[in-house]
């Protein structure tokens, strides 16, 4: 099975025979890269548009930007880095999943803890008043 998979070419990360299970011709691969470029450009334009628009509820704009950024990262992973569901890619996908877990723990954990500390800390004015 493994032999048959490898016989088709390079199915792993950064593969140079396309992103599907079947090998693609060079022309098809150029089209695939162009598709990735177009989707990433559209998401970039949408991000810059979202900052100035009044269509989105103001406090929701950072959430919209986060969603657009995650979507664009997905586009990059699939079309440029060729992270796929091919058997040769299983280890890469699992490592990516673990990396995403660590990143989420680090970023959201820091934000959560620091927000709580800010909330529980006496304000600087009160602190000054006590020292007088």
Partner 1 sequence: MSGAAAASASGATDAPTGRGAGGPAPQRIIVGYGFWIFLLSDVVMFSAFFAAFAVLMNATAEGPSARQLFDLGNVAVETACLLASSFTCGMASLAVAQRSQRWTQVALLVTGVLGATFLLLEVREFSRLVAQGAGPSRSAFLSSFFTLVGCHGLHVTAGLLWLGTMMAQFLAKGFRQDIRHRFLCFSLFWHALDIIWVGIFSLVYLVGVSA
By the criterion CB under 8 A, which residues form the site for partner 1?
Answer: 1-3, 6, 10-14, 16-17, 26, 29-30, 33-34, 36-37, 40-41, 44, 47-48, 50-51, 61-62, 65-66, 68-69, 72-73, 76-77, 80-81, 87-88, 90-92, 95-96, 98-99, 102-103, 106-107, 109-111, 114
CA distances from 123 to 16, 62, 114, 120 (A): 58, 27, 15, 9
> Whole-angstrom Cα distance, residue 24 to residue 16?
9
Min dist. Cβ of residue 51 to partner 1 (A): 5
Min dist. Cβ of residue 107 to partner 1 (A): 5
User: What tokens appear for 28 in the block?
Assistant: 């098809």
User: What tokens appear for 59 in the block?
Assistant: 């406090």
CA angle 27, 33, 35 (to 5 degrees): 105
Nearer to partner 1, 102 or 130 (CB): 102
Nearer to partner 1, 116 or 129 (CB): 116
């Amino acid at each position: 099975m493994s032999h048959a998979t490898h016989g088709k070419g390079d199915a792993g990360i950064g593969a140079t025979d396309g992103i599907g299970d079947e090998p693609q011709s060079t022309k098809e691969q150029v089209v695939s890269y162009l598709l990735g470029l177009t989707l990433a450009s559209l998401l970039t334009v949408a991000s810059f548009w979202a900052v100035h628009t009044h269509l989105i509820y103001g406090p929701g704009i950072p959430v919209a930007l986060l969603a657009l950024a995650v979507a664009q990262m997905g586009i990059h992973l699939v079309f440029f880095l060729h992270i796929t569901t091919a058997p040769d890619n299983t280890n890469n996908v699992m490592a990516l999943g673990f990396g995403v877990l660590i990143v989420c723990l680090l970023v959201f954990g820091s934000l959560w803890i620091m927000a709580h500390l800010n909330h529980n800390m006496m304000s600087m004015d009160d602190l000054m008043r006590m020292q007088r």
